[in-house]
């Protein structure tokens, strides 16, 4: 992919919505830290240090590594983490998971 294509992809989510903030954080972390999708979905909140700009990842072969991420990912993650509980019914998901895969309210 070209730099412009990657930029367009990362900037595609509507960050005026909670789901857009989530999608932007996912894309920023995938690209900024060079994570595999499987590594991303396996993250727990305790694996992410916004202050240090580091994420602890369990990769192939159960190998653990610390991966740095930049300012854009830090900002996107911070924006998402501030609103992440807005669409989840209390008590329906593991609070340690970094993502919340729940059906939207009807």
Q: Tens digit of pLDDT for each residue in 16-33?
A: 999 999 999 999 999 999
Q: Which domain holds residue 81?
A: 3-87
* Structural element, H or E, at residue 71: helix 71-83
The CATH number given to whatever domain includes residue 17 is 1.10.443.10
Residue whose C-alpha is closest to residue 27's, from 12, 14, 44, 10: 10
**15 inside domain:** yes
pLDDT of residue 87: 58
Q: Tens digit of pLDDT for each residue in 58-104?
A: 888 888 999 999 999 999 999 999 998 765 444 444 444 454 443 43
**99 inside domain:** no
**92 inside domain:** no
**60 inside domain:** yes
């Amino acid at each position: 992919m070209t730099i412009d294509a990657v930029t367009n992809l990362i900037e595609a989510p509507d960050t005026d919505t909670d789901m857009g903030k989530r999608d932007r954080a996912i894309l920023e972390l995938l690209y900024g830290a060079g994570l595999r999708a499987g590594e991303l979905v396996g993250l727990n909140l305790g694996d992410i240090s916004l202050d240090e700009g580091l994420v602890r990842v369990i990769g192939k072969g159960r190998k653990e590594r610390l991966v740095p991420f930049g300012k854009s990912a830090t900002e996107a993650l911070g924006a998402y983490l501030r609103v992440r509980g807005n669409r989840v019914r209390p008590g329906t998901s593991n609070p340690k998971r970094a993502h919340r895969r729940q059906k939207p309210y009807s």
